[in-house]
A and B are shown apart, each in its own frame.
Chain A
């Protein structure tokens, strides 16, 4: 597949990555529309390969997806352009928001608003945990119930390091066959 010029490549990732709210999944789907359907820069098979590999790459799936797509479209420069375009503007906004949170601590009404935001952040974390369980639920419901419960107990009651819990989760997951595997 021919390499894509760096300018248009950067623009597509900049626009799609910074105007799509809701996290990685909606943005990845928006990139399917841009890269595969609208511009045919990637084939569906290439998109599927990068999508799958991004799931097993540590860190943020969306950034791994952009790195992989950027690699296929423009090798090292394409990778750098895609990652910078998707992450740098958001990183700047995150810093500005954090600074705003910090300076607003002196104002009671602002603190009340921040309290509401923090409560919604707790809900977002719990909702995110539900989303993380959904794919495993399709494979084995018993595993999707017992493994997170065991991980929670190991971290909360036994005080095990998250790194150890994650390693144990990987080992248990590899050894425990779900109904879809049998």
Chain B
């Protein structure tokens, strides 16, 4: 795959999402389902790597680029992550006053809730691959509750997941 195509595919995903993980359904569709460039497990690992670091959650796109095309692919992923951010400059200049329009706000709300449904749809195949026994089920359940309803530092979830996996590995 050419780096330009890789960049454009990742850019398509980042340009059509409004949160860091909002691009996940499109990336799953393009890279796992349509083109078989990544396995479910690799995409899952990319999400985990992206959530482990501080700062923006959307940096998992860098990991996706790296898994597809090595370091040049990671650079493509990074550029695809930051490219949409520059749009805010034109927003500041042109759209500042229109933000209060109710239809605009409702459309953004609609995108957000639709993206939530898409993320659940994208999580199911990943869960089939990763949640394969009682320990992973408990880890996934606790992570869902803690991320959804508390402000826990996600680094602890990564550490906790790794420790739970190690304990399960020893017991086997």
A72 partner residues in chain B, CB cutoff 8 A: 92
Q: Which of B63, B106, B120, B129 contacts A126 (CB 8 A)?
A: B120
Q: Which of A18, A53, A173 contacts B113 (CB 8 A)?
A: A173
Main secondary structure of the interface of A (DSSP, over half): helix
* B137: nearest chain-A partner, CB-CB: A119
Among B47, B58, B116, the most chain A Cβ lie within 10 Å of the Cβ of: B116
Q: Which of B17, B108, B166 contacts A56 (CB 8 A)?
A: B108
Known: A116-B163, A166-B115, A166-B118. A94 touches B126 (CB 8 A): no
Q: Which of B96, B113, B118, B131 contacts A122 (CB 8 A)?
A: B131
Q: How many residues of A contact B (CB 8 A)?
A: 104
> Is A174 part of the binding interface, using a Cβ–Cβ cutoff of 8 Å?
yes
Known: A116-B135, A116-B163, A125-B47. A59 touches B17 (CB 8 A): yes
Q: Which residues 117-147 in A have Cβ within 8 Å of B in the complex?
A: 117-133, 135-136, 139, 143-144, 147
B165 partner residues in chain A, CB cutoff 8 A: 112-117, 119
Q: Distance (Å) between the CB of B160 and the closest chain A CB?
A: 7
> Is A176 part of the binding interface, using a Cβ–Cβ cutoff of 8 Å?
yes
Q: Distance (Å) between the CB of B153 and the closest chain A CB?
A: 4
Q: Which of A17, A22, A53 contacts B92 (CB 8 A)?
A: A53
B84 contacts A174, C-beta separation under 8 Å: no
A109 contacts B169, C-beta separation under 8 Å: yes
A9 partner residues in chain B, CB cutoff 8 A: none
Q: Which of A60, A61, A119, A135 contacts B143 (CB 8 A)?
A: A119
CA distance A135 to B110 in the complex (A): 11
Q: Distance (Å) between the CB of B66 and the closest chain A CB?
A: 5
B116 contacts A151, C-beta separation under 8 Å: yes
Known: A71-B92, A124-B143, A174-B106. A97 touches B49 (CB 8 A): yes
Q: Which of A21, A98, A133 contacts B153 (CB 8 A)?
A: A21
CA distance A108 to B166 in the complex (A): 10
A144 partner residues in chain B, CB cutoff 8 A: 113
B92 partner residues in chain A, CB cutoff 8 A: 49-50, 53, 68, 71-72
Known: A90-B56, A97-B49. A162 touches B25 (CB 8 A): yes
B114 contacts A151, C-beta separation under 8 Å: yes
> Is A52 part of the binding interface, using a Cβ–Cβ cutoff of 8 Å?
yes
A87 contacts B59, C-beta separation under 8 Å: yes
B87 partner residues in chain A, CB cutoff 8 A: 57-59, 64
Q: Which of A20, A55, A59, A83 contacts B15 (CB 8 A)?
A: A59
CA distance A23 to B113 in the complex (A): 19
B143 contacts A123, C-beta separation under 8 Å: yes
A127 contacts B117, C-beta separation under 8 Å: no
Q: A53-B99, A127-B148, A147-B117 are in contact. List 17 more A-B contacts (CB 8 A).
A: A23-B56, A59-B83, A63-B84, A64-B85, A87-B55, A91-B62, A94-B66, A98-B66, A119-B136, A123-B157, A133-B112, A139-B106, A148-B120, A163-B26, A166-B114, A169-B111, A173-B109
Among all A-B residue pairs, the 3 with the closest Cβ atoms: A173-B110, A116-B165, A123-B143
Residues of chain B at the chain A interface (Cβ within 8 Å): 12, 14-26, 29, 41, 44-60, 62-63, 66-67, 71, 74, 77-78, 81-89, 91-92, 95-96, 99, 102-104, 106-124, 126-127, 129-132, 135-137, 139-149, 151-155, 157-158, 160-166, 168-170, 172
